[in-house]
């Protein structure tokens, strides 16, 4: 097996069906041995049935992982496959027809690169609000799953501030042979909306002196339904981001009040006030940034307080 396409999913059978249907039209390099590995992370819906239904048209393998958490599912996929090139994507994307061609080509041209990342463009399934459309490529790129570093291929090293996203990420198996794995204390787990498992793994790779390559022609479109275009979803996303920052040790503790750092409480109150006073009177570039910072601090507070009560 040359390439394994890995999709981890949890209770999103309809989304998964569409993703797999689109993959049926993939152009595949001549003589390439490949498979699609779907890891069902403890779903209770029709996920297994969808894999059986579409499996006749794809080289698909279904794996059930009962430990809740995306990182558990990702590490299970790595352990279950033997392919030297592992391609990760999500259950709510539409891959471009030439996606696999460009991934394989880049992997052959850059044998020293440990990982690769392709472009991800949002596919709005309803008209997005202006504040989201105007900020999806920068401030809200994580919310919209919008990753576009231009149309020129370039290296991804420790000097690059923005690494690629997990919805279009390729890793060589050799990185896992060096003891690296997806951190299982972060990432979505069905209840807490944490993020950052792929970014943390890439940081581990870079810390070992390796590098990646940005492959702009390896394109996928991320589907954004109406429920992902709300301020409520935005706040949930950045609250999860704040929790992740604490779990990864990126937040200094300092003097604590009610289980969380005093300075974080202060900033949470400040940004919440700025948001409340500016939401309906000032441009979105002002209130949106305040809302993002407020939600991030809320996540930091929640994670510190959770630790305090455990």
Q: Tell me: the pLDDT tens digits for 288-298?
A: 999 999 999 99
DSSP at 226? G
Q: What is the pTM of this model?
A: 0.94
Identify the pLDDT of residue 161.
66
Q: Residue 160 above 90 pLDDT? A: no
Identify the pLDDT of residue 195.
83
Q: Tell me how far apart the alpha carbons of residues 181 and 197 are, in angstroms, rounded to a whole number.
A: 9
Residue 135 half-sphere exposure toward CB, CA atoms < 13 A: 19
Query: Which of 106-115, 141-150, 152-161, 221-230 is the least confident region?
Result: 152-161
In the chain, what are the domains?
3-228 (3.90.550.10), 231-309 (no CATH)
Q: What is the 3-state secondary structure (H, E, C) of 82-138?
A: CCCEEEEECCCEEECCCHHHHHHHHHHHCCCCCEEEEEEEEEECCCCCHHHHHHCCC
Query: Which of 60-69, 110-119, 192-201 is the least confident region?
Result: 192-201
Q: Residue 308 above 80 pLDDT? A: no
Q: Residue 127 above 90 pLDDT? A: yes
Encode pLDDT of 26-71 as tens digits. Answer: 999 999 999 999 999 999 999 999 999 998 999 999 999 999 999 9
- What is the number of other CB atoms lying within 10 angstroms of the CB of residue 310? 5
Q: Tell me how far apart the alpha carbons of residues 202 and 307 are, in angstroms, rounded to a whole number.
A: 26
The more confidently predicted of residues 5 and 178 is: 5
Q: Which two three-digit tokens encode residue 149? A: 């570093």
């Amino acid at each position: 097996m040359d390439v394994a396409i890995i999709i981890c999913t949890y209770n999103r059978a309809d989304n998964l069906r569409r993703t797999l249907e689109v993959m049926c039209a993939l152009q595949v390099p001549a003589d390439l041995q490949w498979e699609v590995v779907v890891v069902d992370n403890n779903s209770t819906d029709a996920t297994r049935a969808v894999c059986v239904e579409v499996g006749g048209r794809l080289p698909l393998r279904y794996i059930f992982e009962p430990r809740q958490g995306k990182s558990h599912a990702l590490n299970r996929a790595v352990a279950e496959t033997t392919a030297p090139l592992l391609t990760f994507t999500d259950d709510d994307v539409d891959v471009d027809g030439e996606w696999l061609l460009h991934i394989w080509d880049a992997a052959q041209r850059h044998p020293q690169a440990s990982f690769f990342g392709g472009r991800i463009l949002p596919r709005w399934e309803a008209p997005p609000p202006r504040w989201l459309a105007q900020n999806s490529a920068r401030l809200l790129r994580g919310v919209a799953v919008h990753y576009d570093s231009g149309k020129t291929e370039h290296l991804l090293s420790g000097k690059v501030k923005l690494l690629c996203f997990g919805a279009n990420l390729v890793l060589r198996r050799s990185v896992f042979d060096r003891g690296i794995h997806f951190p299982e204390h972060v990432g979505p787990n069905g209840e807490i909306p944490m993020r950052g498992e792929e970014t943390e793994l890439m940081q581990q790779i870079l810390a070992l002196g390796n590098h990646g390559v940005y492959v702009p022609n390896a394109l996928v479109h991320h589907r954004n339904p109406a429920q992902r275009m709300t301020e409520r979803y935005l706040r949930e996303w950045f609250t999860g981001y704040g929790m992740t920052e604490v779990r990864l040790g990126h937040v200094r503790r300092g003097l604590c009040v009610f289980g969380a750092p005093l300075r974080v409480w202060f900033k949470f109150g400040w940004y919440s006030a700025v948001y409340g006073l500016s939401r309906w009177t000032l441009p979105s570039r002002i209130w949106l940034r305040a809302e993002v910072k407020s939600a991030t601090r809320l996540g930091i507070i929640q994670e510190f307080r959770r630790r305090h009560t455990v």
